[in-house]
Amino acid sequence: MSIDRFTKAVVTVFALAVAFAPVTTSAETLRVLRGSATAPLAVPMNRAIVVESDEPFTEISIANPGIADISSLSDRTIYLLGKEPGRTTMTILGPDGRLISNVEVQVTPDIAEFKERLEQILPGEPIEVRTANNGIVLSGTVSSTARLDRAMELAERYAPERVSNLMSVGGTQQVMLKVRFAEMQRAVSKSLASSLTAGSNSSVGNLSGLGPVATSGASVGGSGGIASNSDSNGAFLFGFNAGGLEVGILLEALESRGVVRTLAEPNLTALSGQEAKFLAGGEYPVPVAQEDGQITVEFKPFGVELVFTPRVVDGDIINLELLAAVSSIDPANGFTANGFTISAFKRRETSTTVEMRDGESFAIAGLLSDDFTNLKGQVPWLGDVPVLGSLFRSVEYSRQQTELVIIVTPHLVTPTRGQALALPTDRVQPPSERDMFLFGNVDGPTAGGAGEVARQDFSGSYGYVME
């Protein structure tokens, strides 16, 4: 009984030793049978495989040694090395010169190493890598344009000029750019002028710091005619007679202040990488002389102009190439030639490239100009006399200030349903005949916008403050 148990134990130990003993396997080789190969041999570039023939051979040759290199390890084993991407043919001959096989060899880029590098550089990106016609084909959906460019740049190192891009970029690729143009123009001018006129009743002489004074109009003092310029504001004229001499003194004072406020907020949406343009203004005709003497007309745009090209770089990072301009017609600086009067333009323009995230803002341009003019005119020598010299002087003072700021804010946007969008015309309705003829209303009841604004609470600081 004990002998049987001992025998069973030995058999069990032997069986376990055989089961867990290390198994020695030989390297995998490709076998080539007599006749044509059923499929081409795929060899990675700069890698080697071993080809084994079922019959001994005496001669082997390669059609294009620049694509692959061969050497014999034995009379049945061939060492095949891929050198450059391409296709070629390997011929195997037997001892009597008989053809054993023509093997098609296809050397492809080493995508195994490329896949490893791609996973290390762009982890988590579902990029599929394939070989086709001695090149690399990339497909899948990447998260941003920057990652797509990195994948393409890496693939070019393994297959220069043989990379096909079938990848697409996921996420939001449409950018809405909100631009705010804010400009304030302030102008202040002051002038003080005096004129002294003296002469007989029949002939009136003029001594003035401004120039001749009109003599037609209401008379002062006697029968002579001394009057102020009809274009003057704040003019004071008085005079007196001294025997046959009539004296008139004209004092003119003018002070003006002006403020111009310009605000434009264009919003424009474009696809990533595509240019978009915007113009709110008009076009001014400008005559242009041609070589044959004819006159043609070219139109120059003016107003608020915006040209931008957005690029979604990575996630919510947006790269913007931007051209913004504010222009207006300036008749004061125009000129007249050949019967044509052409106005000049005032133009403030900026061109820049910025990078920011979704919803962030940049003040890309700021212009502050301050023009000061102080002009004094007087009658020589008489204007330098103390006290009385002020009657022979004219002083003019003017100051112009312009402040322009351009702020840009990009947003990643997606389409929405049409019912969620409102138009300015939705808030105003045409009036009925009763409202128009009986009550004199030029528009009907407002819907939405005006009522919502009326119900808003404007307590606290709001609006714009100008110092």
**Is the same domain home to 270 and 344?**
yes
Q: Is residue 225 part of a domain?
A: no
Q: What pLDDT is stored for residue 131 in this prediction?
A: 80
Q: Which of 33, 89, 30, 87 is nearest to 60 (CA)?
A: 89
The alpha carbon of 44 is separated from its chain's Cα centroid by a whole number of angstroms, namely 44
Segment 245-272, tens digit of pLDDT: 676 767 777 777 777 776 778 888 888 8
The span from the CA of 218 to the CA of 248, in Å, is 12
Report residue 374 as tokens.
Answer: 């102080």
Segment 365-381, tens digit of pLDDT: 777 788 888 887 777 77
Give the 3-state secondary structure of residue 219.
Answer: coil
Residue scoring higher pLDDT (400 or 447): 400
Q: Find all residues with CB under 8 Å of 322, minimum gap 6, and list them.
A: 177, 306, 307, 308, 350, 351, 352, 353, 354, 364, 408
Residue 348 has pLDDT above 80, yes or no: yes
Report residue 287 as tokens.
Answer: 């005559």
Q: What pLDDT is stored for residue 53 in this prediction?
A: 82
**Is the same domain home to 64 and 82?**
yes
CATH of the domain at 136: 3.30.70.1770
Residue 212 has pLDDT above 70, yes or no: no
Q: Find all residues with CB under 8 Å of 391, minimum gap 6, and list them.
A: 194, 195, 196, 209, 249
Q: Is residue 100 part of a domain?
A: yes
Q: Report the pLDDT averaged over residues 60-74.
A: 89
Phi, psi of 188 (to 5 degrees): -130, 130
With contact defined as beta carbons under 8 Å apart, do 49 and 30 qualify? yes
Residue 57 has pLDDT above 50, yes or no: yes
Phi, psi of 98 (to 5 degrees): -75, 150
Residue 103 has pLDDT above 80, yes or no: yes
User: What rounded mean pLDDT belongs to the chain?
Assistant: 75
Can you give the length of the chain in residues?
467
Segment 125-145, tens digit of pLDDT: 888 888 877 788 898 888 777
- Predicted model pTM: 0.54
CATH of the domain at 68: 2.60.40.1080
Range of the domain at 123: 111-169
Residue 462 has pLDDT above 50, yes or no: no
Q: What pLDDT is stored for residue 230 in this prediction?
A: 45
**Is the same domain home to 274 and 314?**
yes
Q: Which of 96, 103, 89 is nearest to 37 (CA)?
A: 103
- Label residues 233-257 b or e (16+ Cβ within 10 Å = b): eebebebeeeeeebbbbbbbeeeee
Q: Which residue has the tokens 């003017």?
A: 398
**Is the same domain home to 431 and 371?**
no
Q: Report the pLDDT averaged over residues 441-460.
A: 57
Give the 3-state secondary structure of residue 154.
Answer: helix
**Is the same domain home to 288 and 409?**
yes
Q: Is residue 7 part of a domain?
A: no
Q: Report the pLDDT averaged over residues 211-217.
A: 37
The span from the CA of 299 to the CA of 291, in Å, is 19
Count of domains in the chain?
Answer: 4
**Is the same domain home to 318 and 402?**
yes
Q: What pLDDT is stored for residue 233 in this prediction?
A: 60
Q: Report the pLDDT averaged over residues 111-138.
A: 84
Residue 79's identity, in one-letter code, is Y
Report residue 115 as tokens.
Answer: 């896949």
Q: What pLDDT is stored for residue 222 in this prediction?
A: 40
Q: Is residue 26 part of a domain?
A: no
The span from the CA of 184 to the CA of 276, in Å, is 27
Q: Is residue 91 part of a domain?
A: yes
Q: Which residue has the tokens 């044959």?
A: 292
Q: Report the pLDDT averaged over residues 376-399.
A: 75
Choose from 9-13, 125-129, 183-187 the range with maximum mean pLDDT: 125-129
For the beta sheet containing 163-169, the strands, ordered from the edge strand earlier in sequence to the opposite edge, are 127-132, 135-142, 163-169
- Counting residues of the chain whose pLDDT is more than 70, the rounded percentage is 72
Q: Is residue 223 part of a domain?
A: no
With contact defined as beta carbons under 8 Å apart, do 56 and 76 qualify? yes
**Is the same domain home to 445 and 377?**
no
Number of Cβ within a 10 Å radius of residue 68: 25
Q: What pLDDT is stored for residue 214 in this prediction?
A: 38
